[in-house]
């Protein structure tokens, strides 16, 4: 969960909210500045745009891209283009426009252009899953994917080649080395998007307030098994090429060296983090005066929830077709929207109203 304070937000309110979200709800917390698209959308859209561009460069089909950038890369199973369809292509275009309107000084601003294929689909009214067609289209029981060269839908089902699958099962350092040195088009595509991610994190990771937090230095690993920092810190790469033709140099550091294919050292910020944070569970650490934020200080609670403790402790209070209301401690109600695509329908509104009435009647909050 991202916590974004306003200029008038009291620090103790943030601390209380982080404590509740971490130890009661069982969620990880990220404190961020009030910047365009915050963290997840900012990083996620930059990565998706890079993936779309590299897919075009290497001629990689959308279904193959989703297979390569899904679970095989430690990410969500929906991959890239399927995720865009679920989110909504018009919503994705809106998030991209926010980057275009507010980040003109960003060194990656030229890469924030709306992909022509995305603009064309929106113009045709193909907005993704909610309109029945986007990068993918379902006809009966068959799933079709868009062929941008032909401008029509063709049968989907493309998969990663076996040799690339074997590369992705290797340890991180060996995996990166194999992808970088391979002549296989799918491997070259994967190396290109990983290199782009390393470069993006290297440039922006140095200037963000969140840089002292390991989870945020690994921000490109949101909902993934390993983002760029964990990937490059897991081993060493042999000497190789540069960050990429036409890309500006951005100083030294683990990510820059990984993007260039050079040897990787253990990041210094890990030792710095240990000096910042005392590992005492249940203790809230406010932001230091110099602006860096410590890592969440609830290791025991977070481990418990990751093992299923939160699910076992749930008590359902109310449920309709599209809303589930439950509590962990008998004091605070938690409402989950279970509707398809999380759309706000009359049934959802009625469920939330019922949850509010129950919370006000017999609970401390919701």
pLDDT tens per residue across span 58-68 = 999 999 999 99
Query: Among 13-27, 56-70, 145-159, whose mean pLDDT is lowest?
Result: 13-27
DSSP result, 47-73: HHHHHHHHHHHHT--HHHHHHHTTGGG
In a domain, 254, yes or no: yes
State the pLDDT confidence band at 124, using cuts at 50, 70 and 90: very high
Q: pLDDT by residue (tens digit) across 288-339?
A: 444 444 444 444 444 444 444 444 567 889 999 999 998 888 888 888 888 8
Q: Are residues 284 and 227 in the same domain?
A: no
CA–CA distance from 329 to each of 30, 142, 314, 349 (Å)?
A: 23, 45, 8, 25
Q: Are residues 159 and 14 in the same domain?
A: no
Q: Looking at 220, 238, 259, which one is the last position of a domain?
A: 259
Q: Are residues 94 and 146 in the same domain?
A: yes
Q: Are residues 152 and 272 in the same domain?
A: no
Q: In the prediction, which pLDDT does 289 show?
A: 42
Q: pLDDT by residue (tens digit) across 162-183?
A: 999 999 999 888 999 999 999 9
Q: pLDDT by residue (tens digit) across 66-121?
A: 999 999 988 888 999 999 999 999 999 999 999 999 999 999 999 999 999 999 99
Q: Which residues does 130 contact at the CB level (< 8 Å), separation at least 6?
A: 88, 341
Q: Is the pLDDT of residue 194 over 70?
A: yes
In a domain, 282, yes or no: yes
Query: Among 109-118, 202-211, 222-231, whose mean pLDDT is lowest?
Result: 222-231
Q: In the prediction, which pLDDT does 156 show?
A: 95
Q: Are residues 60 and 118 in the same domain?
A: yes
Q: Are residues 290 and 157 in the same domain?
A: no
Q: Are residues 78 and 216 in the same domain?
A: yes
The answer to whether residues 65 and 81 touch, using CB atoms and an 8 Å cutoff, is yes
Q: Are residues 207 and 296 in the same domain?
A: no
CA distance 19 to 26: 10
The answer to whether residues 112 and 104 touch, using CB atoms and an 8 Å cutoff, is no
Residue span of the structural domain in which 183 resides: 40-259
CA distance 101 to 36: 9
In a domain, 204, yes or no: yes
Q: Are residues 204 and 322 in the same domain?
A: no
Greater pLDDT, 61 or 235: 61
Q: Is the pLDDT of residue 143 over 70?
A: yes
Q: In the prediction, which pLDDT does 328 show?
A: 83
Q: Are residues 234 and 294 in the same domain?
A: no
Q: What is the mean pLDDT of the chain?
A: 77
State the pLDDT confidence band at 206, using cuts at 50, 70 and 90: low
In a domain, 186, yes or no: yes
CA distance 94 to 15: 32
Q: In the prediction, which pLDDT does 21 show?
A: 87
Q: Are residues 110 and 56 in the same domain?
A: yes
State the pLDDT confidence band at 198, using cuts at 50, 70 and 90: confident
In a domain, 247, yes or no: yes
Q: In the prediction, which pLDDT does 210 show?
A: 41
In a domain, 35, yes or no: no
Structural domain total, the chain: 3
Q: In the prediction, which pLDDT does 266 show?
A: 35
State the pLDDT confidence band at 230, using cuts at 50, 70 and 90: low
Q: In the prediction, which pLDDT does 269 show?
A: 35
CA distance 238 to 189: 20
Query: Quick one: angle between helices 116-123 and 89-102, nearest 10?
Result: 130
SS3 content of the chain, % helix, strand, coil (to 5): 50, 10, 40
The answer to whether residues 95 and 112 touch, using CB atoms and an 8 Å cutoff, is no
Retrieve residue 106's tokens.
């960003």
In a domain, 34, yes or no: no
Q: Are residues 139 and 201 in the same domain?
A: yes
Greater pLDDT, 264 or 259: 259
Give pTM, 2 decimals.
Answer: 0.65
In a domain, 323, yes or no: yes
Percentage of the chain modeled with pLDDT above 90: 43
Q: In the prediction, which pLDDT does 279 show?
A: 37
């Amino acid at each position: 969960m991202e916590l974004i304070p306003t200029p008038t937000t009291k620090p103790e309110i943030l601390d209380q909210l982080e404590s509740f979200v971490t130890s009661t709800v069982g969620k990880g917390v990220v404190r961020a500045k009030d910047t365009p698209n915050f963290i997840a959308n900012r990083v996620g859209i930059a990565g998706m745009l890079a993936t779309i561009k590299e897919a075009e460069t290497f001629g990689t089909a959308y279904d193959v891209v989703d297979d390569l950038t899904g679970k095989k890369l430690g990410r969500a199973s929906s991959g890239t283009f399927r995720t865009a369809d679920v989110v909504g292509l018009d919503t994705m275009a809106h998030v991209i426009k926010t980057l275009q309107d507010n980040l003109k000084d960003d060194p990656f601003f030229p890469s924030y252009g709306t992909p022509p294929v995305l603009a064309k689909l929106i113009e045709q009214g193909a907005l993704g899953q909610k309109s029945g067609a986007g990068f993918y289209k379902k006809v009966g029981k068959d799933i079709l994917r868009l062929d941008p060269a032909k401008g029509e839908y063709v049968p989907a089902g493309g998969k990663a080649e076996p040799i690339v699958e074997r590369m992705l099962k290797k340890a991180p350092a060996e995996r990166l080395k194999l992808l970088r040195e391979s002549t296989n088009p799918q491997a070259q595509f994967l190396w290109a998007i990983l290199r782009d991610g390393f470069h993006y994190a290297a440039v922006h990771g140095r200037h963000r307030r969140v840089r002292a937090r390991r989870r945020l230095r690994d921000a490109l690993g949101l909902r993934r098994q390993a983002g760029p920092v964990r990937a490059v810190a897991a081993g060493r790469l042999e000497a190789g090429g540069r960050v990429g033709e036409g890309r500006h140099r951005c100083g030294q550091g683990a990510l820059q060296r990984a993007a260039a294919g050079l040897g990787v050292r253990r990041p210094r910020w890990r030792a710095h983090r240990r000096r910042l944070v005392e590992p005492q569970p249940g203790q809230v650490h406010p932001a230091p005066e110099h602006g860096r934020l410590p890592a969440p200080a609830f290791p025991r609670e977070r481990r418990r929830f990751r093992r299923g403790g939160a699910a076992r402790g749930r008590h359902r209070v109310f449920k309709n077709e599209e809303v589930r209301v439950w509590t962990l401690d008998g004091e605070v109600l938690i409402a989950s929207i279970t509707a398809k695509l999380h759309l706000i329908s009359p049934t959802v509104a009625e469920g939330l109203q019922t949850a509010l009435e129950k919370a006000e009647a017999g609970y401390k909050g919701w």
